[in-house]
C-alpha cells in the first residue's frame, strides 16, 4: 500500500515553489563551534548521537521550552520526533548528556521566502513499511522530504525569525517542456497535521530529534517480518541496526550583519 492521498491545492502551493532549488552554503565545521553568518536567516545543523542512556525526553525537557501547541507536540512524538526550542549555546550540554556526537553538517540558508527541501530521503526500491497516523504504508518509491521556509519579522518586543517546517512524501513528475515551469508531482502526501511553526529570537533554535531503535522482528500466524518504521524515523534515515539519535538544529540569526 502507498501514500495515496493527494492534497491538490496544498501540493501545488508547496511544490510549485520548489521547481528550482536554491543552492545553500555548506560549511565544514568543528563540532559545536560557533559560526558567524553573513546576515539574518536560518542555519541548519544535522548530526547524530550514539546514546549512552534511554532518558532522551527527560534530558531534553531540562533545556529550553516546548511548543505552544501541546497536542501537536504529542502528535510529533507519536511519529518519532521530539521537538524543543532551545538556546543554541546549550547544544554541547544536550549532546554530552545523551552520548557521543558524530557527522556534523552545517548549511546556511539565509531567509527562505519559498518552501525549500531542507532534508530529503529517496525511498529504496526494496521498500520500507512506514507508519503514519497509526496506519502502515509500504513505500517503495518517491521521496520523504522536510520542507522549510522562514523569514525575519518585526515584533513589538523586537525582531524575530518566523520558521515553518512541513514533512511531505512525493513522486516527482517528468520535467516539463517549458524551462522553469512548475510540475505537479504524480503522487504526493502532505502531512499538514505535522506542520511546525514558531518564532525564534536571535540565537534561539528549534531542535528536532528522532530516537531510532533497531526494528523488531514480528512472528505469528498473520504478521511476519520487521515492524513498521515511524514517519519521523523514516525521514531521518531509519530503520537502523544500532540505537542512534538524529538531530536537526534550526538556529535563528536575527539582524542585518554578523556584528548584530
- List, for residues 189-233, the tens digit of each pLDDT value: 999 999 999 999 999 999 999 988 887 766 655 555 567 889 999
Q: Count CB atoms within 10 A of the CB of residue 23.
A: 6
pLDDT for res 157: 78
pLDDT at 250: 96
| pLDDT at residue number 181 | 58
Residue 257's pLDDT band, with cuts at 50, 70 and 90, is very low
- To the question of pTM greater than 0.85 for the whole model, the response is no
Nearest CA-CA partner of 46 in 64, 26, 65, 21: 26
- 189: enclosing H helix or E strand: strand 187-190
What is the widest separation between alpha-carbon atoms in the chain? 65
3-state secondary structure of 92: helix
**CB neighbour burial string for 210-243, b if at least 16 within 10 angstroms, e if fewer:** bbbeebeeeeeeeeeeeebbbbbbbbbbbbbeee
Residue 242 pLDDT class (50, 70, 90 cuts) = confident
Closest C-alpha to 3, from 173, 139, 194, 192: 139
User: Mean pLDDT of all residues in the chain?
Assistant: 81
Give burial (CB, 10 Å; 0-12/13-18/19+) of 153.
exposed
Amino acid at each position: 500500500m502507498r501514500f495515496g492521498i493527494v492534497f491538490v491545492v496544498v501540493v501545488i502551493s508547496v511544490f510549485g515553489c520548489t521547481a528550482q532549488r536554491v543552492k545553500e552554503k555548506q560549511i565544514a565545521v568543528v563540532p559545536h563551534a560557533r559560526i558567524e553568518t553573513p546576515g539574518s536567516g536560518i542555519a541548519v545543523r544535522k548530526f547524530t548521537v550514539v546514546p549512552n542512556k534511554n532518558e532522551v525526553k527527560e534530558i531534553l525537557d531540562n533545556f529550553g521550552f516546548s511548543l505552544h501547541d501541546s497536542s501537536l507536540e504529542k502528535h510529533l512524538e507519536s511519529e518519532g520526533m521530539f521537538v524543543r526550542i532551545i538556546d543554541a549555546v546549550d547544544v554541547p550540554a544536550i549532546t554530552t548528556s545523551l552520548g557521543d556526537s558524530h557527522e556534523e553538517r552545517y548549511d546556511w540558508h539565509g531567509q527562505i521566502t519559498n518552501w525549500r527541501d531542507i532534508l530529503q530521503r529517496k525511498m529504496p526500491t526494496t521498500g520500507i513499511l512506514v507508519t503514519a497516523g497509526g496506519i502502515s504504508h509500504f513505500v517503495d518509491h518517491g521521496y520523504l522530504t522536510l520542507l522549510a521556509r522562514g523569514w525575519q519579522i518585526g515584533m513589538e518586543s523586537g525582531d524575530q525569525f518566523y520558521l515553518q517546517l512541513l514533512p511531505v512524501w512525493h513522486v516527482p513528475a517528468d520535467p516539463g517542456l517549458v524551462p522553469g515551469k512548475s510540475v505537479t508531482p504524480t503522487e504526493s502526501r502532505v502531512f499538514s497535521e505535522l506542520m511546525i511553526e514558531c518564532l525564534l529570537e536571535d540565537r534561539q533554535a528549534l531542535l528536532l530529534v528522532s530516537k531510532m531503535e533497531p526494528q523488531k522482528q514480528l512472528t505469528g500466524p498473520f504478521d511476519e517480518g520487521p515492524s513498521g518504521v515511524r514517519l519521523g524515523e523514516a525521514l531521518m534515515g531509519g530503520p537502523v541496526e544500532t540505537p542512534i539519535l538524529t538531530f536537526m538544529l534550526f538556529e535563528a540569526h536575527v539582524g542585518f550583519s554578523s556584528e548584530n
